[in-house]
Amino acid sequence: MFPVMKKDLHPTDYRLVVFMDEAAGFSFLTRSTAASTETTQWEDGQEYPLVKIHVSSASHPFFTGEEKIIDTEGRVDRFAAKMKAAKEHQEMLAKKASAKKPKKTTPVEKPAEVTAAA
């Protein structure tokens, strides 16, 4: 005997949706249940819900055969700016330290020993 399949397990509200890869400028139309508040006009002249994605087969290195950094949120730029600022700060501190001349030390006079009178 086979187990009974569960009813109402899978979604039933499939509709045509446009997925747009922002990094590659690539779009495709497919059936999906993905929610979206944006719409776009497709090649057939009709409007469809629009779902923006960061990576697709048009931009993924596995499919394109080239390595590139996909940075849609500016993380790489922010990291590079932080590293540059830290390096400049270190160089400034090094210049300050080399500009300071060591203080001349004066010999400390030792108090004369008191001899006891006999």
> Three-state SS for 21?
strand
Q: What is the pLDDT of residues 66-114, one digit of tens each?
A: 766 666 667 778 888 999 999 999 999 888 888 776 666 666 666 666 6
pTM over 0.75: no
Map tokens 């700016």 to a residue: 81
Closest CA relative to residue 18, chosen from 55, 47, 49, 46: 49
Type of residue numbered 7? K
Give residue 26's region: left, alpha or beta (phi > 0; psi -120 to 50): beta
Q: What is the dihedral of CA 50, 62, 75, 29, to 10 degrees?
A: 0
